[in-house]
Structure 1
Amino acid sequence: MRLQKKGSTYFGLCPFHNEKTGSFSVSPNKQMYYCFGCGAGGNVFTFLMQYENYTFTEAMQVLADRAGIELPKQEMTGAQKREADKRTKLLEINKEAAKYFYKLLRSPRGEKAYAYFRKRELSDETMRKFGLGYSDQYSDDLYRYLRHVGYDDALLKESGLVSIDEVRGGHDKFWNRAMFPIMDVHNRVIGFGGRVMGEGEPKYLNSPETKIFDKSRNLYGLNIARTTRKPQLLLCEGYMDVIALHQAGFDNAVASLGTSLTSGHASLLKRYTKEVYLTYDSDGAGVKAALRAIPILKEVGIITKVINMQPYKDPDEFIKALGAEEYQKRIDQAENSFLFEIRMLEQNYDMNDPESKTAFYNETARRLLAFPEELERNNYIQAVADKYRIGFEDLRKLVNNLAMAGSGITKAAPLKSGIHEKKKEDGMKQSQKLLLTWLIEDTRLFDSIKGWITEEDFTEPLYRKAAQELFTQYGESGQVNPAKIISRFQEEEEQKEIAGLFNAKIHEVETKQDKEKALKETIERIKENSIDVRSRQSDPNDLTVVMQLINEQKELEKLKKTHISID
Structure 2
Amino acid sequence: MAIDDRFIDELSARCDIVDIVSRYVALKKSGNNYFGLCPFHNEKTASFSVAPDKQIFHCFGCGAGGGPIRFIMNIEGLDFPDAVRFLARQYNMEVPETGENPRHRQERKRVLAALKDAARFFYAQLHGPAGTQALRYFQQRRLSRRTMGNFGLGYAPDSFHALLDAMTAQGYTKEELAAAGLIARSQNGTYYDKFRNRVMFPIIDVRGDVIGFGGRVMDDSKPKYLNSPETMVFNKRRNLFAMNLAKKTRSEYFLLAEGYMDVIALHQAGFDSAVASLGTALTDEQARLLTRYTKTVIVCYDADTAGQTASQRAIDILKKAGLRVKILRIPGAKDPDEFIKAKGAEAFRKLIERSDNDIRYRIESARDKYDFTEDDQRILFLREAAGIIAALENPVERDVYTASTAKLAGVTQAAFQQEVKNAQTRLQYQQKQQYHRQVRAPAQAAQPKERTIHYDNMRSARAEEGLLALLFSDASLLPDMREKVRPEDFSSPVLGKIYGHAIALFDSGRGITVSALEPVLQPEETELLVAALGTEISADRRQKAMEDYIDIIAEQKAARDIPGQDGEDPLLRKAQLQRKTKRFDGTEG
TM-score interval for Structure 1 and Structure 2 normalised by the shorter chain: 0.7 to 0.9
Give the 3-state SS of the residue equivalent to 1:321 in structure 2. Answer: helix
Quick check: 2:472–2:512 contact (8 Å CA) kept in 1?
yes
CA gap 1:494/1:152 in 2 versus in 1, 3 angstroms: farther
Quick check: 1:232–1:275 contact (8 Å CA) kept in 2?
yes
Give CA-to-partner distance per residue, 1:519-567, whole Å, 9 cap, x none.
Answer: 6356314422234315524889xxxxxxxxxxxx9xx999979xxxxxx
Matching of residues 277-292 of structure 1 within 5 Å: 277-292=298-313
1:530 and 2:561 matched: no
1:433 is aligned to 465
Quick check: 1:234–1:277 contact (8 Å CA) kept in 2?
yes
Q: For residues 128 and 154 of structure 2, what CA distance do their matches in structure 1 show? A: 10
Quick check: 2:66–2:514 contact (8 Å CA) kept in 1?
no
Residue type of the partner of 1:381?
T
2:515 is aligned to 483
* TM-score, normalised with respect to structure 2: 0.76
CA gap 1:323/1:528 in 2 versus in 1, 3 angstroms: same
1:494 and 2:525 matched: yes
Give CA-to-partner distance per residue, 1:300-339, whole Å, 9 cap, x none.
Answer: 5544322122123321222233333332221121113333
Q: For residues 450 and 156 of structure 1, what CA distance do their matches in structure 2 show? A: 49
Quick check: 2:326–2:356 contact (8 Å CA) kept in 1?
yes
1:177 and 2:198 matched: yes
Q: For residues 11 and 372 of structure 1, what CA distance do their matches in structure 2 show? A: 19
Matching of residues 243-392 of structure 1 within 5 Å: 243-270=264-291, 272-298=293-319, 300-371=321-392, 374-392=395-413
Residue type of the partner of 2:494?
L
**Number of matched residues?**
529
2:18 is aligned to none
Q: For residues 478 and 82 of structure 1, what CA distance do their matches in structure 2 show? A: 26
2:444 is aligned to none
Quick check: 2:35–2:50 contact (8 Å CA) kept in 1?
yes
Q: For residues 279 and 214 of structure 1, what CA distance do their matches in structure 2 show? A: 24
Give the 3-state SS of the residue equivalent to 2:214 in structure 1. Answer: strand
Q: For residues 409 and 175 of structure 1, what CA distance do their matches in structure 2 show? A: 53
Q: For residues 175 and 205 of structure 1, what CA distance do their matches in structure 2 show? A: 10
Report the Cα offset of residue 277 of structure 1: 1.6
1:94 is aligned to 115
Report the Cα offset of residue 405 of structure 1: 7.0
CA gap 1:525/1:101 in 2 versus in 1, 3 angstroms: same
Q: For residues 360 and 273 of structure 2, what CA distance do their matches in structure 1 show? A: 24
Match of 1:470 among 492, 502, 505: 502
1:16 and 2:40 matched: yes
2:96 is aligned to 71
Match of 1:504 among 505, 512, 534: 534
CA gap 1:231/1:20 in 2 versus in 1, 3 angstroms: farther
CA gap 1:409/1:223 in 2 versus in 1, 3 angstroms: farther
2:253 is aligned to 232
Report the Cα offset of residue 220 of structure 1: 1.4
1:202 is aligned to 223
1:136 and 2:157 matched: yes
Matching of residues 211-230 of structure 1 within 5 Å: 211-230=232-251
Give the 3-state SS of the residue equivalent to 1:276 in structure 2. Answer: strand
* TM-score, normalised with respect to structure 1: 0.79
Residue type of the partner of 2:73?
M
Q: For residues 529 and 420 of structure 2, what CA distance do their matches in structure 1 show? A: 46
Give CA-to-partner distance per residue, 1:389-440, whole Å, 9 cap, x none.
Answer: 32221101123245557899769x9xxxxxx955697454343323323333
Q: For residues 144 and 191 of structure 1, what CA distance do their matches in structure 2 show? A: 19
Residue type of the partner of 1:361?
L
1:165 is aligned to 186
Show structure 1 runs of 5+ residues with no match: 414-419, 541-552, 562-567
1:190 is aligned to 211
Q: State the identity as a percent.
A: 38
Give CA-to-partner distance per residue, 1:281-312, whole Å, 9 cap, x none.
Answer: 22344334334433444455544322122123
Give the RMSD, CA atoms, in angstroms: 4.0
Q: Which moved more, 1:451-460 or 1:97-106?
A: 451-460
Q: For residues 58 and 449 of structure 2, what CA distance do their matches in structure 1 show? A: 15
Report the Cα offset of residue 243 of structure 1: 1.2
Show structure 2 runs of 5+ residues with no match: 1-22, 435-447, 565-576, 585-589
Give the 3-state SS of the residue equivalent to 1:73 in structure 2. Answer: helix
CA gap 1:12/1:469 in 2 versus in 1, 3 angstroms: same
1:397 and 2:418 matched: yes
Match of 1:50 among 68, 74, 99: 74
